[in-house]
Amino acid sequence: MSVNSITGWDMAAGTDVGLIRSRNEDALRIFPHHGIVILSDGMGGHRAGNVASSLAVDVIASLLVPANGEQQGFERASTNPQFLADSIHDANTAILTAARQEPAYSGMGATVVAASFHEQHFTAAHVGDSRLYRFSKGRLEQLTVDHTLAERYMSHGYITRQQAAHWNAKNILLKALGIDESVTPDITEGSVGSEDLFLLCSDGLTNAVADVEIEELLQPGAGDLQQKVEQLIAAANNNGGPDNISVILVRRSNP
């Protein structure tokens, strides 16, 4: 996808199958005019993960970015976090319904991270281990907390972050779309600085590329947004590309 710059936001996105998987089960959409970005990762090893991720992205987009061009959706997502959470709940219902109607889709699921940017504020919601980061003043900060067994063990002090990185069960999800009848996403809100750069990504990036390397690739002068996206994907593939890789970058447009 190419960079877009309309009404205040520059965005770039890209997705790649990686070097091991035979199918890309990630899906993403960007809406620069509305300040909306959505990324979903179909659950690896499950049936029809690509169907689940596409459903998630399409349902959320249909609610936040109405086809008739009305601005109500993204304005409500920016000012009312519950509206963003409700769109993810509807995506969960759509995945469960599709799985019940089509036996080939039984057991499919997905993670999701979606964000709305409006003026000097952002609202994000996520389920699973797809992440949102902010790169500001040369430093990378993870804004979301993974819904994984590894993250829970780390929070209780059972394992260290270094141990988790090499744990064979690190990717076990505790929460995802398409598993339970109801899902409650985590909501993250914050301010948007003039120099802030936001990164949304699937775990195909973060499992292959260390935060310090991501930080280096996001430094100013390392290319435009689309080049940075391509460099991040290339870094994951250079490190083995064990999973599908999806990346979205967002920043405020220069006046």
CATH number reported for the structural domain that contains residue 14 in this entry: 3.60.40.10
Q: Is residue 156 part of a domain?
A: no
pLDDT at 76 over 80: no
Asked, for residue 151, whether it belongs to a domain, the answer is: no
**Range in 38-47, 138-147, 217-226, 231-240 with the lowest mean pLDDT:** 38-47
* Confidence band for 46, pLDDT divided at 50, 70 and 90: low
Residue 147 token pair: 């819904």
Pair of tokens at residue 7: 């009404």
Mean pLDDT of 36-42: 97
Q: Do the domain assignments include residue 164?
A: no
On the CB side of 185, CA atoms within 13 Å amount to 34
In our burial notation (b when 16+ CB lie closer than 10 A, e otherwise), range 147-164 reads: bbbbbebbeeeebeeeeb
Q: Residue 119's pLDDT is what? A: 84
**Is the residue at 66 inside a domain?**
yes
The rounded mean pLDDT for the chain is 89
pLDDT at 222: 65
What's the burial of 100, exposed, middle or buried (CB within 10 Å: 0-12/13-18/19+)? exposed
Q: Tell me, what's the pLDDT at 4?
A: 46
- pLDDT digits over 139-192, tens only? 999 999 999 888 788 777 777 777 777 777 777 899 999 999 999 999 999 999
Number of domains forming the structure of the chain: 1
The predicted structure's pLDDT at residue 81: 87
Residue 216 placed within a domain: yes
Tell me the pLDDT tens digit for each residue of 50-61.
Answer: 999 999 999 999
**pTM score of the predicted model:** 0.91
What is the pLDDT confidence band of residue 75, given thresholds at 50, 70 and 90? low
Residue 165 covered by a domain? no
Note whether residue 118 is domain-resident: yes
Whether 242 is in a domain gets the answer: yes
Give the distance from CA 216 to its chain's centroid: 20
Q: What is the pLDDT of residue 3?
A: 46
Q: Given this model, what pLDDT does residue 229 score?
A: 98
CA separation for the pair 103, 115 (Å, rounded) = 32
Separation between Cα atoms, residue 167 and residue 140, nearest integer Å: 23
Residues spanned by the domain of 101: 4-144+176-252
